[in-house]
Amino acid sequence: MNSILILLITVFSITLFFYGRSKSKIWSIEKSVKLKALPKFYGYYLVLWCSIPSLVFLGVWTIFEPVIIKSIILKFAENQGANILDDNAANLLYEKVKSIYSGNFFGDIDFVLKESAVSYAKFLNLFTNSKIVLVFTLIIASIIYSLKKIKNNNKARDDVEFILKGLLFTSSLIAILTTIGIIFSLLFESIKFFSVINVFDYLFGTNWSPQRAFVRDATTITAAEYEELKDAFGFIPLIAGTAFIALIAMLVAVPIGLFSGIYMAEYASIKVRKFSKPVIEILAGIPTVVYGFFAALTVGPFFREFGESLGLTVSSESALAAGLIMGIMIIPYISSLSDDVINSVPQSLRDGSYAIGATQSETIKKVVIPAALPGIIGSILLAVSRAIGETMIVVMAAGLAANLTINPLDSTTTITTQIVMILVGDQEFNSPKTQSAFALGLTLFIATLILNYIALRVVKKYREKYE
């Protein structure tokens, strides 16, 4: 049905374009009036008015129609006596109704189901017909309006451009919409979560074992159940694990990245730089799932065997393996940014230092790096933000047990791993377990936001100094 409507709108639009274009020429001759714009713009004007309101209307209707119908039917079913106290039962009932409608249902159909299915068919029909009528009304109204306008010789080009500018502005609003969407998604579930689990139990709890949270519906938790639950969602081991692995990663990435950046910016010949810079940036282009695979398959077992040969117990999912691989992935973030930042330190500073008789390394250590420091710190902060938000490497190579440890040979888990693990298994809607994943996501989002903000401020301040 939608495709037919869209086709109709397209046909109307094309017709209107040619109509508008030719008619405007004719009218200007008839009335001996000079057109205020090229004829084709009158055509465009009609097209825009015909298509935009109706398409937008169609889109919004299509998106919200299923949701509205579903709530109507469920309300109806409840009135008929259906027992749909929780979401799962409600969804099940609705799925059955839809299957009956499409002729795919082969189970027993009781009275409630039958009535609901009939009601569903009725409302679906009603909505579809309304949609068609309303779309047509919109189209006709728009055509009448716009025809009147062009009859009065409007400044078609200006009007068309105004409308198009509106479209441009709307496109740029998508960015804000996305942010709103993210905040909404995270907050929505997190609020449900925090209505069950106290924020402080979450932030300061030292035990994370959400498997315990088998409660089906968060609204019916008893006090006794809560006592058990409140110790299951402690955030501390997760932030500790995340920070620990990120720390190992930075210990690998900062020295190698910084020295690579310094070498490429200060010492390397043009040929060497032309070769090594892209090769190192390959490290940034490799999908993280590849790193995760490499870490899980090769590096983790290697460390375990190597450790065993030295008499140490090393987990095959050691924080060391995950951190090392993550560090490798981060190297280009630091080396490229440092390279750029060091290059933008003015040569006059270096000249002043050489003229006093400093060696190149002394100049770099005491003049160039301090001058470039804000930019370098900014790049490190951005790298840390990347490390914290990284998912695949830790999902595949780090462990699942949330233990507080500072032994790099142990396995530990991170925020992102837990989000994936919670949401990939069987999802129980409305359980604190599923909601906790969103609470974790919210925490992660806020943390990276703050880090990114500080990093960008620092880099911006640095840029202002030299440009």
Contact positions with another protein (CB under 8 A) in 198-257:
255-257
Asked if residue 5 binds another protein (CB under 8 A), the reply is no
CB closer to another protein, 147 vs 397: 397
Does 2 help bind another protein (rule: CB under 8 A)? no
Which residues make Cβ contacts (< 8 Å) with residue 23, sequence separation at least 6? Answer: 42, 150
Q: Is the dihedral of CA 408, 414, 417, 421 positive or negative?
A: positive
SS3 98: helix
Q: Tell me the closest approach of the beta carbon of residue 227 to another protein, in angstroms.
A: 29
**330 lies in the site for another protein, by CB under 8 A:** no
Among the listed ranges 18-26, 109-117, 202-210, 451-459, the one in contact with another protein (CB under 8 A) is 451-459
Distance of closest approach, residue 369 Cβ to another protein, in angstroms: 11
Among 184, 204, 214, 306, binds another protein (CB under 8 A): 184
User: Do residues 315 and 304 touch, judged by C-beta distance below 8 A?
Assistant: yes
Question: Contact between 431 and another protein (CB under 8 A)?
Answer: no
**Interaction between residue 419 and another protein (CB under 8 A):** yes
The single-letter DSSP state of residue 286 is: S
| Spatial separation of the C-alpha atoms in residues 110 and 421, rounded to whole Å | 39
| Complex with another protein: residue 139 or 444, whichever CB lies closer | 444
Q: Does 388 contact another protein by CB under 8 A?
A: yes
Q: DSSP label at 208? A: B
Stretch that binds another protein, among 5-13, 73-81, 383-391, 405-413 (CB under 8 A): 383-391
How many residues touch another protein under the rule CB under 8 A: the total is 108
Binding residues among 48-87 for another protein as defined by CB under 8 A: 63, 66-67, 70
Q: Which residue has the tokens 């080009």?
A: 157
DSSP 229-247: HTTTB--HHHHHHHHHHHH
Nearer to another protein, 389 or 408 (CB): 389
CA–CA distance, 445 with 186 (Å, rounded to integer) = 9
Residue 161 has which token pair?
Answer: 């451009």
- Closest distance to another protein from the beta carbon of 39 (Å): 16
Q: Which stretch binds another protein (CB under 8 A): 101-109, 126-134, 155-163, 311-319?
A: 155-163
- The β-bridge partners of 208 are 233
Site string for another protein, 284-313 (x = CB under 8 A): -xxxxxxxxxx-xxx---------------
Measured in degrees and rounded to the nearest 5, phi and psi for residue 208 equal -125, 105
Q: Which is nearer to another protein, 304 or 386 (CB)?
A: 386
Question: Do 415 and 239 contact (CB within 8 A), yes or no?
Answer: yes
With contact defined as beta carbons under 8 Å apart, do 264 and 232 qualify? no
Q: Is 97 in the site for another protein (CB under 8 A)?
A: no
Quick check: 190 and 233 in contact, CB under 8 A? Answer: no
**Smallest distance, another protein to C-beta of residue 64, A:** 9
Helix (H), strand (E) at residue 100: helix 87-102
| Binding of residue 3 to another protein (CB under 8 A) | no
